[in-house]
Structure 1
Amino acid sequence: MTWVSLIFAGIFEMVGMFFMKKSNGFKILKPTIAAIVAAFCSFYFLSVSLLSLPVGTAYGIWTGIGSAGTVIIGIIFFKEGVDVKRLSFIGCIIVGVVGLKLVS
């Protein structure tokens, strides 16, 4: 359940960033509320995972999932640029997340 909580934390981090972008600087109410709720859920699930995981491992994986996922969301939904270098560095983040999982 610890790892499932951490994955949920990362997913909610991505959802929060999506709605933060949609909120136009917190000027649009519904996406602002969605961003706040998603952030709360992300922190909640991260805190649940911290009951069993070392803080460095959990935080590294949480930020890795959130970062890589948010870049992918930006590419898909906000038409942000994509090139080989950008995808290579996302791959590095994913390899680091997997590595942290394997050594924990």
Structure 2
Amino acid sequence: MEWIYLVIAGIFEMAGVVMINQWHHSKKWTAMFLLIFFFGLSFLFLSLAMEVLPMGTAYAIWTGIGASGGALLGIFLYNEPKDKWRIFFISLILVSAVGLKAIS
């Protein structure tokens, strides 16, 4: 169950990052509320996962999901560059997260 919590935490972190971008562009208070809400849920689920998983592993995977997911959302939602090297390094982050899961 802790791995599911960790994935959920990563998804909420990605949503929080999208809300940072929304807040930056619109300055609407709904974006700020959702930013705080999504990051709050992200920290909640991360803390649930860390009840069982080692801190280093949980934090590395949570950060990896957020970083790679944020980069992918930027590509798909905001037309950010999608060159081969960017995709390659995003893939490395994801492969590293899977590797940490495999050895834990």
TM-score (norm 1): 0.97
Q: Which runs of 5+ in 2 are unaligned?
A: none
Who is 1:101 aligned against?
Answer: 101
Who is 2:28 aligned against?
Answer: 28
Who is 2:4 aligned against?
Answer: 4
Which deviations, in whole Å up to 9, do the C-alpha atoms of 1:54-91 show, x marking residues without a partner?
00000000000001100000001111111000000001
Match of 1:35, SS?
Answer: helix
Root-mean-square deviation (CA, aligned residues, Å) is: 1.1
Match of 2:14, SS?
Answer: helix
Alpha-carbon contact 1:20-1:26 (below 8 Å) kept: no
Displacement after TM superposition at 1:5 (Å): 0.4
Displacement after TM superposition at 1:28 (Å): 1.6
Displacement after TM superposition at 1:26 (Å): 7.8
Displacement after TM superposition at 1:2 (Å): 0.5
Displacement after TM superposition at 1:24 (Å): 1.5
The alignment of Structure 1 onto Structure 2 pairs a total of residues equal to 104
Letter in 2 for 1:8: I
Who is 2:38 aligned against?
Answer: 38
Question: Residue 52 in 1 paired to residue 52 in 2?
Answer: yes
Displacement after TM superposition at 1:22 (Å): 0.5
Moved runs in structure 1, 4+ residues, more than 4 A? none
Which deviations, in whole Å up to 9, do the C-alpha atoms of 1:2-50 show, x marking residues without a partner?
0110000000000000011001278221111101100000000000000
Letter in 2 for 1:98: V
